[in-house]
Amino acid sequence: MGDYRYIFGPVPSRRMGLSLGVSPIPQKHCNYSCVYCQLGRTKTKRRRREAYCPAEEILAEANNYLAGNHPLDLVTIVGEGEPTLYSHLGALIKGLKNLTVKPIAVITNGSLLFEETVREELLGADIVLPSLDAHDEDIFKKINRPLSQLSFKQVFQGLKTFSERFKGQLWLETMLVRGLNDGDESLAKFKILLDKLNYDRLYLNIPLRPPAEPWVETPTPKSLEKAVTLLNGMAIDQAITGGFSSGIEDDFAAVASIIKRHPMNQHEIKSFLDKRGCPDDNDIFRKLSHSSKVQIISYKGYKTYRGI
C-alpha cells in the first residue's frame, strides 16, 4: 500500500471487470463539455496535447501497485479528463505493457483520432473505447459541446481511419440522452454511421450518475431497448454497487482518490469502507461532507460524492 497520484482503484467496470485506473490528465482537462459528464462542466476546453508529467512517474506508481499482485482484470487509462490530451500517451501505453500481461485499455472521447500521431499511439493498446454520441454536427454540438475547432465530420473520419487500422478490440460507446440522440431518426442515422466502422462491440450507455447539466434525462426503457435491437448494441444500465478498492492506506484519502475520477454513491462508499475494515464509516462520511474538495449531489434518490 502507498500513496498514489496517478493510479486509482481498482474500480469495478461495467464493461470490463476489475480495472486499475491510470489517470495522466489533471482534473477536467478536456476538449469537450458533454452535457452528461459525471465530472461536471469543463471550465476551459483544452486544445493542445501536453506533457502533464513524465510517463516514468506514472509507470513507477503502476509498477509499485502491480508488484503487490492484487486481483485485477485489466489496466485502464481513463480519468479526470480526455487521456489523448496527454502527449506521452504512447510511451505510457508501451510502458504499462512492459509491466503487466493484463490488457491495457484506453477510454477516450475519440476527438483526436484524426491526428495521425494519436492514432499511432493508440495502436499500442489492447482495447480502445471511443465515444460516438453524435450522428451529425448539430447533435455533436448539443451533446458533446466540443472545442469550436472540432467538427463532427473530422472526428468521425478519424474514428473511421482508426477502426480500419487497429488490430485490438475496438469497443464503441454511445451515451443516449433522452430527447437528444435516442429518437427513431437518430437511431437510423447511427445505423448508417456504424455500418462504415470496423468495430467489435457497441455499448449503449445511459446517464446513471449526476450529469453536468441537471436537465439531462435517461432514455425510457423502451427507447433503450429499441436502440439495442436496431444497433445491435449492449446496454449498460446496471449501476455498480460494490467492488471498489484502492492501494491507498488511509480510508478518507482512498475514497477521495477514487471520487476524483469516478463519483461514488453513499452505498458504494459504505461497502468500500466495510470491505477495508474501516473502524468508523461515519467519521469518513463526516469528513467527506466537510471537505471543500468534495461535492455532494442528490440524484435518483442517492447521495453521490464527487471530487472537485
Q: Which is nearer to ligand SF4, 61 or 82 (CB)?
A: 82
Q: Which is nearer to ligand SF4, 39 or 105 (CB)?
A: 39
Q: Report in angstroms how near the CB of residue 131 gets to ligand SF4 at its nearest.
A: 7
Residue from 11, 22, 34, 159 in contact with ligand SF4 (CB under 6 A): 34
Among 21, 81, 207, 219, binds ligand SF4 (CB under 6 A): 81
Q: Is 139 in the site for ligand SF4 (CB under 6 A)?
A: no
Q: Which of 7, 20, 30, 128 binds ligand SF4 (CB under 6 A)?
A: 30
Part in contact with ligand SF4 (CB under 6 A); list of ranges 33-41, 61-69, 97-105, 165-173 = 33-41
Identify which of 54, 65, 123 has the alpha carbon closest to the alpha carbon of residue 94: 123
Residue 305 and residue 259 in contact, taking contact as beta carbons nearer than 8 Å: yes
DSSP 155: H
Among residues 61, 82, 173, 182, the one that binds ligand SF4 under rule CB under 6 A:
82
Out of 13, 19, 23, 42, name the contact with ligand SF4 by CB under 6 A: 42
Give the length of the chain. 308
CA distances from 146 to 56, 128, 207, 223, 251 (A): 31, 20, 19, 26, 37
Sheet holding 169-175, edge to edge: 7-13, 17-22, 74-77, 104-108, 127-130, 169-175, 201-205, 234-236
| Nearest distance from C-beta of residue 88 to ligand SF4, angstroms | 19
| Cβ-contact 129, 172 below 8 angstroms | yes
Among 4, 32, 244, 305, binds ligand SF4 (CB under 6 A): 32
With contacts defined by CB under 6 A, name the span among 27-35, 188-196, 197-205, 297-305 that binds ligand SF4.
27-35
Residue (95 or 211) nearer to ligand SF4, CB: 211
Q: How far apart are CA 18 and CA 75, in angstroms?
A: 9
- 256 makes contact with ligand SF4 (CB under 6 A): no
306's CB contacts (< 8 A; 6+ apart) are 38, 39, 40, 210, 259, 263, 294, 295, 296, 297
Residue 130 in the binding site for ligand SF4 (CB under 6 A):
no
- Alpha carbons 5 and 80: distance in angstroms, whole number: 12
Residue 109 near ligand SF4 by CB under 6 A? yes
Interacting residue with ligand SF4 among 37, 55, 206, 273 (CB under 6 A): 37
Please select the residue that binds ligand SF4; options are 13, 33, 76, 84, rule is CB under 6 A: 33
Total residues at interface with ligand SF4 (CB under 6 A)? 10
**218: which 3 cell numbers?**
435517461
Element housing 13 (H / E): strand 7-13
**CB 194, min distance to ligand SF4, A:** 20
Order of all β-strands in the sheet with 302-307: 264-265, 302-307, 294-299
Task: Give min distance, CB of 33 to ligand SF4, in A.
Answer: 5
10: preceding bond cis by omega (within 30 degrees): yes
By beta-carbon proximity to ligand SF4, the closer residue of 46 and 88 is 46
Q: Give the span between the Cα atoms of 35 and 72, in whole angstroms.
A: 32
Which residue ranges make up the site for ligand SF4 (CB under 6 A)? 30, 32-34, 37, 39, 42, 81-82, 109
